[in-house]
Amino acid sequence: MACNYHRAWRHGTALEVRMPSVNPDLRFLGYVAWCLRRKHGYLVGIAFVDEQTLFSARMGEQVCQIERYCRLHDAHDDLQEIQALALEWVQEHADEFSHDAVHKAFAHAVLD
């Protein structure tokens, strides 16, 4: 998982990922796997302490991505439109969030 941040993080730094738009109490423990300088801040790669935490965090990320996709398509309060856009996003991107994809990502992170 990666996210944008306004400052750099040192490799190996322990951190807590929060997803308040999904659930204000949702927290995942991880550490900085890599940090790349970008034009406006940094892209921070996050590795998680175990495969289940990674899978849970990726499911939270999927919810955030679906919400973003709906906002980009101006689906405000129309439940049918939101559901249709969510289904469209899932059909296009669900493979990226499958258990197999997460397992491969975790195995790669463990080897690093």
pLDDT, one tens digit per residue, over 41-100 is 999 999 998 988 988 888 888 888 888 898 898 877 788 888 899 899 888 887 776 667
pLDDT of residue 104: 64
Residues 6+ apart with CB under 8 A from 12: 31, 32
- Is there a domain that residue 94 lies in? yes
Domain with 56, as residue range(s), is: 2-105
- Is there a domain that residue 79 lies in? yes
pTM of the model: 0.68
- Is there a domain that residue 111 lies in? no
Question: What is the 8-class DSSP label of residue 49?
Answer: S
Whether the pLDDT of residue 1 is over 60: the answer is yes
pLDDT of residue 108: 58
- Is there a domain that residue 110 lies in? no
- Is there a domain that residue 97 lies in? yes
Domains held by the chain: number: 1
Give the pair of three-digit tokens for residue 74. Answer: 């101006």
